[in-house]
Structure formats: structure tokens, C-alpha cells
A and B are shown apart, each in its own frame.
Chain A
Amino acid sequence: MSCGQTILDYGLRSIGIGEKLLPRTEFDFCTQVTLIGSGLIWNLYFGFFALLFGFFLANALAMAKASDSAWIRKPAEWFIFVFRGSPLFIQFFLAYQLFVLLPRSGIEIFGITIATSWLTKAWAGALIVLILNTTAYSAEIFYGALQTVPKGDLEAADAYGLTGWKKFRRVVWPTMMRLAWPSYTNEAIFLFHATTLVFFASFPAFAQQGDALYYGNYFADKTFNPFVAYPIVAVYFILLTLLLTSLFGLVNRRLNRHLPGAARRVRYRPQLIR
């Protein structure tokens, strides 16, 4: 089988397009690269949507944690503590068990039946866990940045007569983002790395449609040779990390555009993992 044919057959295997069965006898290099690459679609899906939703929720949560009212602050602190203090792996297990226990026929609220079975599927259930998890980590980063917004900036805003929402929108929030961005870049990278856990923590891979590590593990099991499949996974993730770093670097440049020379290169520091 030529490599081109393999790519046609398995290139989109992870989302159910192409061959039904996984290769059973032929494990040449091309097959492994193709199938693991197709698994990466899931990692991108989880990472992208978790970041997207998590970003907005984290902003809200950081504001809640900085709130003066204990009624708002305490729940936010607890949420952050629970999700940052426990392993993501356990969170996946817990969430899955919770979703399984929901009645299969759906929950009836005011006469409308809300289906629940989709929650036990990885695409939804695992995504929810990842969103909540990254929300907690990012909120802590944003909160930390909010605390270090320079006093001078706030005084300048006051001097210009900016108050309330306008002050927040024009001065506080952009500065907070600027300060938080290097750490947030790290968080984003680790979120993408954490997506590899999904199919190893309860959530079943429907019809063997899994992520990059799922297929890497499949090949390592079948060939008894970890020295090919795992390095392929590793190379994919190194490329993904480089891509993320450069994308976030662009945003960082934009956030710091009014401060010539301040846009330091975002240094990648493994400070936050689950």
C-alpha cells in the first residue's frame, strides 16, 4: 500500500472518515505518522475549545475572586482551590462517573426532557472538565496579574476621569492581560498537553476514534516497540508547542505595542501542570 493511499484511508480516521478498521498487520512508518497525526485533530479540538470558553470564564472568575463581597469571593476561591488542588486525571474520572449516573432517558424540567447521554461522550464530557480546569488555572493567573496592575496606571485613569466600566475596559483589563500573558501562554501549552489524558481516563474512544496518544499507545502495544510511535507523538507535540508559542507571541507583541522594548519574548517555563 502506497503512502498516499494510507493518508487517504487513515488521515481523518479519528473523526470517523475513511477506513473502518485500524491496521492490524501493517505498521509501517507512514501508517503510524498518518494515524497519529489524525489523532491530533482531537487534541486540537479539545485544546482550542477549552481555551476559547475558558478564557471568558476565567476573566469572570478572576473578577469574582477580586471582589469585595465575600458572597462572590468565597465560591470563586473554592472553585479555584478544588480544580487546582486535585489531579486532572481524578477530575476526569469523577466527572465521567457523575455523567453516567444521570438518568439515561434524560432529565425532565418543566415538561421539557433534556437529554443527558451526550455528556458521557468524550467530545462533550471531557471538554467540560477541561474548560472548568483551565478556567481555574487561568483565573489564578489573571487574578495574580490584576493584583500587580501598577498603581500609577490606575491613578492616571482617575486623572483622566475614567470610572467604572470604562476604566476597566480601557486601563485595568489591557494591563492585566499584558502582565498575565507570559504565564497564560504556558497555561495554554499545558492545556494542550493535558488533552492527551482524555482517552486514558474513563472516557471511551468511540469506534477507536482517539487522540494522538491513543493511537501512539495502540501502535506501541501492537508492535511491542515504543521507540517509533511515542517519538512520533512527541514530534507532533513539539511542533504544536512551537506553533502555540509563536501565535501567543504575536498577541504578546500586540498587547505590549505601546511599550517599546517591553515585549520580551515569552519564556516558556513549565510552572503549571495538572
Chain B
Amino acid sequence: MFEYCADPKSLEGLTWLSCYLTSGTHMQFYASFGTVLLLLAITAPIALLFGFGGALAARSHVAPLRWFGKIYTSMVRGVPDIVFFMFVPIALDQLFEYLRSRVYCDTSVPVRQGSDFVVCAAAKLPRATSPEWVHDSYGMFLAVLAFSVVFGAFAANVLYGAMNSVPRAQLETAEAYGMTRRQMNRRILIPQMWVYAVPGLSNLWMILIKATPLLFLLGIEDIVYWARQLGASKTQAFAYPHPDWRLYYFLAILIFYLLMTAISERVLRRISRRLSLGQATMAGEAMRKAGA
């Protein structure tokens, strides 16, 4: 980046380090922290939406919808989340390609041939002719979807519990006022449930942060990928030769995550305080007494 970096072999000490840390590959490493934050920013709202849908479905009066909701909310209970992270992207990829193959290909050719999954070129995703960035963003798209599905299930679990914690008396009052089920949901249940959902959702956010390095398993070039690439020992053939420094790169990542969780914890504590205000819970009561 700097002008004196033209010939890195002649440099020493801090100047060498300043050039090393601003090399092109390092810039990609720093950008991959952005990838992690981007994943968090996209996944959190989508997962919340999925969770909301799942929780409402689990409370539904329509039996098939309720079964779907119940299965979705309970699917993450007994199975390690990593299994889902491995399973969902391939499963979705094959599902998309299968659906496309029924449209674009000869439907008499079976998709599964022995130990192979074959679709014709027209049904391939992403298309072989697509530019590089399409391939990259397709991978990211599948990853985001996998994270959303899994964390949606966690969120559905939390929200379902929160909806059940809203005092029955409040809902009965709403019924007494002649509200329909829909009005009741919108005016009473959903505004009231957040305070019960916040501890669970806060926890979920922490879990989500700590699950982001699993992006590496999905083949995304994330911070773990770059830490392994950059930290591995470099011979003299490279511009910046150095021994195995992966330990330091992983230490940097560890510190990044510690900062993320520490900051989140503070913010979430504030939100929970705010939401407890005026609620018929222990925390709300304590705040009322302190104020009076």
C-alpha cells in the first residue's frame, strides 16, 4: 500500500510489519470481517422472521400448519446444529437444481444415477457461464439461508415460549372486549411477548455470533479461511516469508469475537432494561419501586 513497500525483502522491523499488514491479501482478510458482520446483519432479521412464522404456525388452529410449526420448533432440540449447517446448503442446492431440471431438462432422465447427482447444463446453479461473483454470492446465499433456517428454528422456540408466557388474563380481557383472534394477536399478544422473549433472543444473538466461524465449513472465504491462508508458513518464494503464524491470527480472531460478545452483552442489557419498564414482571416491579 505504501510506496516504500515496493521491495519488501529489503525492509526490516516495523516498516516491514506495516507493509506486511497492508498487503493485498491482508486487505481481503480485513474485508472478510465485513463478511461476518454482513452475515449477522442479514441473518438476524430473516431468522427472526422465520422464528416468528414458526411460532405463530405452532399456535395455529389449522392442524397441518400446527404440525409443521411444532416440527420446525423442535427440530433443533435433539440434533447438533452443525449437522444442519452441513445438511441444509447441499439439500437446498440439490432441491433448486432438481426443480430447475424438471423445467429445463429432459424429465425422463433420473436425477440420481448411482452415486451421482446429475442435472443437465441448463439446470445447473449457478450457470457455468456466470461470472465469478455470481458463484461467490450463490455460496453466500446458501449459507445465509442455512443460518436463517437453523436460527429461525431456535428463534421459533424462544418466541413460542414467550407467547405462552403472556399472562392468560390479558388475552381473556381482550376476548371480553370482543376482539377477534387476529386483533388479539396483533394488539395484545405480540406487543406483550417481547419482554418475555428478550432473554432468549439475547442468548440467541450470542449464539449466532459464535456460530459465524462455521461459515468456513460451508466453503465461504471467511476470517477462518484467511487466517489459515495468511498464517501458514511462507517460504522465500513469497514476498513476505515468515514461519507458521497461524496461532497469532487465531488469537486476533479470538479477540474480535470477545469484543463482539462483550459489546453485545452491554447493548442487550440496556434493551432488556428498557423493555422491562412498566411490565408486570419482577424486573419491571423493581424499577417501579426504585422510581417511586
Question: Residues on A close to B: CB < 8 A?
Answer: 27, 81-82, 84-91, 93-94, 97-98, 100-101, 193-194, 196-197, 200, 213, 216-217, 220, 222-227, 230, 233-234, 237-238, 240-242, 268-274
Contact = CB atoms under 8 A, between A and B. Distances in A.
Top 9 A-B pairs, shortest CB-CB distance: A193-B80, A238-B78, A241-B78, A224-B117, A97-B247, A85-B261, A87-B210, A230-B87, A94-B250
Given A86-B254, A93-B246, A226-B91, 16 more contacts: A87-B209, A87-B213, A89-B224, A94-B250, A101-B247, A213-B83, A226-B86, A230-B86, A237-B78, A237-B79, A241-B77, A268-B77, A270-B76, A271-B200, A272-B203, A273-B207
Nearest to A193: B80
Contacts of B81: 193, 273
Given A90-B213, A270-B157, A194 B251 contact: no
Interface string B70-99: 000000111111110011001100100000
Given A237-B83, A271-B203, A87 B211 contact: yes
B275 interface: no
A226 B87 contact: yes
Give the interface residue-count category, chain B: 35 or more
Given A230-B87, A273-B207, A213 B80 contact: yes
B207 A94 contact: no
Given A222-B115, A223-B115, A200 B82 contact: yes
Interface of B: 76-83, 86-87, 90-91, 94, 112, 115-117, 154, 157, 161, 200, 203, 207, 209-214, 216-217, 224, 227, 231, 244, 246-247, 250-251, 253-254, 257-258, 261-262
A220 B247 CA distance: 31
A97 B213 CA distance: 17
